[in-house]
Amino acid sequence: MYARCGKVEDALKVFDESSQRGVNDVVSWNSIVGAYVQSGEVNRALKMFGRMNSGGFGLQADVVSLVNILPACGSIKAAMLGKQVHCYAFRSCLFEDVFVGNAIVDMYAKCGMMREAKKAFDIMDDKDVVSWNAMVTAYSQSGSFDDMMHLFEEMKEKKIESNVVTWSAVIAGYAQRGLGVEALDVFRRMQLSRAAPNMITLVSLLSACATLGALLVGKETHAHAIRCLMNNRNDRGEDLTLNNALIDMYAKCGNVSDARIIFQSLSLKEMNVVSWTVMIGGCAQFGDANEAMGLFSQMLHGTTRPNAYTISCALMACSRLGALRSGKEIHAYVMRNCNGNGFESVMLYVANCLIDMYSKCGNVDAAQIVFDNILNKNDVSWTALMTGYGMHGRGEEALQVFDGMQKAGLVPDEITFLVVLYACSHSGMVERGIKYFNTMQRDYGVAPMSKHYACMVDLLGRAGRLDEVVELIKGMPMKASPIVWVSLLSACRIYANVELGEYAAERLLELDSKYDGTYTLLSNIYANAGRWKDVSRIRLLMRKMGIKKRPGCSWVQGEKGTASFFVGDRSHPQSEQIYELLADLIQRITIIGYVPETSFSLHDVDEEEKKGLLYEHSEKLALAYAILTSTPGAPIRITKNLRFCGDCHNAFIFISMIVDHEIIVRDSSRFHHFRKGTCSCRGYW
């Protein structure tokens, strides 16, 4: 009785008393073991089970004992013990019991031993729907989708009716793989069948909607869930899981405000670590990364501890903001808490996020140190570091990482080659980029995809080899994607090629007429060529299409937090000093040879931005602010949401000659390190 009410200690007392009198039977032993399993004390349960079977008590485990202990083995992946229990079940013929058989299949699956699971499943004489579900679930969770669907079809052939568990497992399997369309399709088929979805089905479905960004179906599912809630009394845990899945779905579908409404409807007591994680992750990726950081610090002041998932999301926010100081603080937090708090098993994930964070916050050397300290590096670790060197224009080092990766026995795949080409492109290593592109299929069996072509267009385009770009695009075995045309258009902007630019813009508008960058780039090309009529034609077209240029924004992490600037921004309290210093800097660099490139003053199509003069660009304001507030000699880190303006880039080179700071700028595609009149991009900006 005590055991069933969850009072393990009381149950144990009774058990011990009976023990002394020698009257405990299998039933009482089972109750104790079951109570430990229920309360999550798996190791104690396993110990008790071991004592029971030690032979000293003259007892033998029965069906209930096995059904108790097998899931416990699975939950802590105690494969050896699980195998022993299986042997015992075999010897005692208890494995013929369908409950025991199901538990054996499930145990092997949870231990990741799929072959053994399938073997145990195959020799079961009387399978029930639970047996099939155990196997379908096993395949679903191990990512073996073909096997999962095969079994699912076999169920249909054998006329075993799928129940809600089967359907939910199949939906979840697809969702986890990111196959949202297939998951939704299964849900439609489920609706046609007799099985009614429950909360778990809906949660799996929301996860599919989240990966797909399918807001409409997500909302439908939300409505389903409300009906489901009204019809059934659910426990609070189930409600919270649903709310967490809803927050995640809304955020990933780009509707952060609805996600926030659900998040805020939860009381601090109700929410758990997942609620915080999905909200922080949602803001970090799809909303305001500053809000994500705010939420994270709010969380640290509360009672819910972040785990590795939360940390990864917070690091993503730092990466996006270029918030090196916050990133370092989180790194320190991880170091303080990595022992015994559930971080071990997912440390690799966190470490890979740290590599990304340090690279994107401008400190790729720190990323290298994190990388060096990882004992069991995986392909993501190598790729993240390579990307880091690539975006800092340190192509040689990126290629050394590529060599190291292969020496470590990892096989390059399409992502590896994308990163290699990207690194070559950002370091001006044109010939080597071409060589890798030409050999990736021949030597490594990786066929170039559209994104690799886009990278090559970028590589050749930045180098001004526009004729070769045209040939490359003509020879593409697939339709050119929008990124291909954007890369070409950008190259036409740099090399002032109006005709080709127009052609690229036309192709791009056919594919995606809503992308504001197309209009801006084309307008810049016309402005540069002095074709003012065309400039106003583009402006009119934008108005007609309801397209607004995203405003350029630059920010800098100062002593007292982050300061951000738009073009012509005068909202900062130190605005007057900032403009004064900027005017002084411009005057001084003009003396040593800076000439404003006025074509960039027409960079902005937006009316408000047009008013801004060249020296009011957001990156120049951010730099002036940073110089004003930093200690001499300290590096200055600026982040810009769009592409670095060419005139600003030129001005920064001159300014770096006259100030005692290294200036590190991250724009939408890469880093620029300015030191004493040079930039790390060597013209490939």
Partner DNA sequence: TTAGGGTTAG
Of the candidate residues 14, 26, 63, 164, the single one contacting DNA (CB under 7 A) = 164
Nearer to DNA, 144 or 575 (CB): 144
Instruction: By CB under 7 A, tell whether 147 contacts DNA.
Output: no
Of the candidate residues 24, 53, 241, 520, the single one contacting DNA (CB under 7 A) = 241
Nearer to DNA, 353 or 623 (CB): 353
- Considering the complex, what minimum distance in angstroms separates the CB of residue 580 from DNA? 38
Angle, helix 450-462 to helix 482-494, in steps of 10 degrees: 0
Q: Which of residues 96-115 bind DNA (CB under 7 A)?
A: 98-99, 102-103, 106
CB environment 499-534: b (16+ within 10 A), e (fewer) = ebbbbbbebbbeeeeebbbbbbbbbbbbbbeeeeeb
Of the candidate residues 319, 520, 601, 618, the single one contacting DNA (CB under 7 A) = 319
Nearer to DNA, 352 or 368 (CB): 352
Instruction: By CB under 7 A, tell whether 444 contacts DNA.
Output: no
By CB under 7 A, how many residues form the interface with DNA? 77
What is the C-alpha to C-alpha distance for residues 670 and 395, in angstroms, rounded to an integer?
12
Nearer to DNA, 316 or 492 (CB): 316
Cβ-contact 125, 96 below 8 angstroms = yes
Contacts of 118 (CB under 8 A, 6+ apart): 135
Q: What is the DSSP track for 203-272?
A: HHHHHHHHHHT-HHHHHHHHHHHHHHHHHS---HHHHHHHHHHHHHHHHHTT-HHHHHHHHHHS-TTT--
**C-beta contacts of 378-383 below 8 A and 24+ residues apart:** 378/348, 378/352, 379/405, 379/410, 379/413, 379/416, 380/352, 381/348, 381/351, 381/352, 381/355, 382/408, 382/410, 382/416, 383/415, 383/416, 383/419
Dihedrals φ, ψ of 78, to 5°? -85, 80
Instruction: By CB under 7 A, tell whether 563 contacts DNA.
Output: no
Cα(first)–Cα(last) distance of the chain, in Å? 74
Instruction: By CB under 7 A, tell whether 387 contacts DNA.
Output: yes
- Considering the complex, what minimum distance in angstroms separates the CB of residue 251 from DNA? 9
Instruction: By CB under 7 A, tell whether 141 contacts DNA.
Output: yes
Of the candidate residues 61, 350, 457, 655, the single one contacting DNA (CB under 7 A) = 350
Instruction: By CB under 7 A, tell whether 180 contacts DNA.
Output: no
- Considering the complex, what minimum distance in angstroms separates the CB of residue 382 from DNA? 8
Instruction: By CB under 7 A, tell whether 562 contacts DNA.
Output: no
Nearer to DNA, 316 or 535 (CB): 316
Instruction: Report the alpha-carbon angle 478-482-484, nearest 5.
Output: 70
Q: Which of residues 405-434 bind DNA (CB under 7 A)?
A: 414-415, 418-419, 422
- Considering the complex, what minimum distance in angstroms separates the CB of residue 317 from DNA? 10
Instruction: Report the alpha-carbon angle 321-324-326, nearest 5.
Output: 85
Of the candidate residues 45, 130, 586, 653, the single one contacting DNA (CB under 7 A) = 130
- Considering the complex, what minimum distance in angstroms separates the CB of residue 267 from DNA? 14
Of the candidate residues 165, 283, 334, 486, the single one contacting DNA (CB under 7 A) = 165
Q: Which of residues 256-295 bind DNA (CB under 7 A)?
A: 272-275, 277-278, 281, 285
Cβ-contact 241, 229 below 8 angstroms = no
- Considering the complex, what minimum distance in angstroms separates the CB of residue 61 from DNA? 15
Of the candidate residues 30, 133, 290, 656, the single one contacting DNA (CB under 7 A) = 133
Nearer to DNA, 142 or 599 (CB): 142
Instruction: By CB under 7 A, tell whether 312 contacts DNA.
Output: yes
- Considering the complex, what minimum distance in angstroms separates the CB of residue 316 from DNA? 5
Q: Which of these ranges, 5-13, 149-157, 253-261, 375-383, lies near DNA under the rule CB under 7 A?
A: 375-383
What is the C-alpha to C-alpha distance for residues 131 and 133, in angstroms, rounded to an integer?
5
DSSP state of 466: H
Instruction: By CB under 7 A, tell whether 641 contacts DNA.
Output: no
Of the candidate residues 129, 215, 374, 581, the single one contacting DNA (CB under 7 A) = 129
Q: Which of residues 474-533 bind DNA (CB under 7 A)?
A: none
- Considering the complex, what minimum distance in angstroms separates the CB of residue 618 from DNA? 24
Instruction: By CB under 7 A, tell whether 644 contacts DNA.
Output: no
Nearer to DNA, 279 or 623 (CB): 279
Of the candidate residues 52, 120, 134, 642, the single one contacting DNA (CB under 7 A) = 134
- Considering the complex, what minimum distance in angstroms separates the CB of residue 83 from DNA? 18
Of the candidate residues 2, 333, 349, 503, the single one contacting DNA (CB under 7 A) = 349
Q: What is the DSSP track for 568-631?
A: T---STTHHHHHHHHHHHHHHHHHTT----GGGGG---SHHHHHS-GGG-HHHHHHHHHHHHSP
Instruction: By CB under 7 A, tell whether 353 contacts DNA.
Output: yes
Nearest residue to 167 (alpha-carbon basis) of 110, 118, 217, 205: 205
**Residues 199-218, mask of contacts with DNA (x by CB under 7 A):** xxx-xx-xx--x--------
- Considering the complex, what minimum distance in angstroms separates the CB of residue 232 from DNA? 11
Instruction: By CB under 7 A, tell whether 383 contacts DNA.
Output: yes
Cβ-contact 674, 652 below 8 angstroms = yes
- Considering the complex, what minimum distance in angstroms separates the CB of residue 86 from DNA? 15
**C-beta contacts of 304-307 below 8 A and 24+ residues apart:** 304/271, 304/272, 304/273, 304/276, 305/273, 305/341, 306/273, 306/276, 306/277, 307/273, 307/277, 307/341, 307/342, 307/343, 307/346
Nearer to DNA, 53 or 137 (CB): 137
Q: Which of these ranges, 343-351, 568-576, 581-589, 597-605, lies near DNA under the rule CB under 7 A?
A: 343-351
Here the tokens at position 543 are: 């108005």
Instruction: By CB under 7 A, tell whether 190 contacts DNA.
Output: no
Instruction: By CB under 7 A, tell whether 609 contacts DNA.
Output: no
- Considering the complex, what minimum distance in angstroms separates the CB of residue 258 from DNA? 16
By DSSP bridging, strand 636-640 and strand 561-566 are unpaired
Which residue has 């809906």 as its token pair?
A: 202
Q: Which of residues 32-71 bind DNA (CB under 7 A)?
A: 67, 71
Here the tokens at position 477 are: 């075995």
Nearer to DNA, 380 or 553 (CB): 380
Q: Which of residues 12-31 bind DNA (CB under 7 A)?
A: none
Beta-ladder partners of 554: 565, 640
Cβ-contact 345, 336 below 8 angstroms = no
Q: What is the DSSP track for 140-173?
A: HHHT-HHHHHHHHHHHHHTTPPP-HHHHHHHHHH
565: enclosing H helix or E strand: strand 561-566
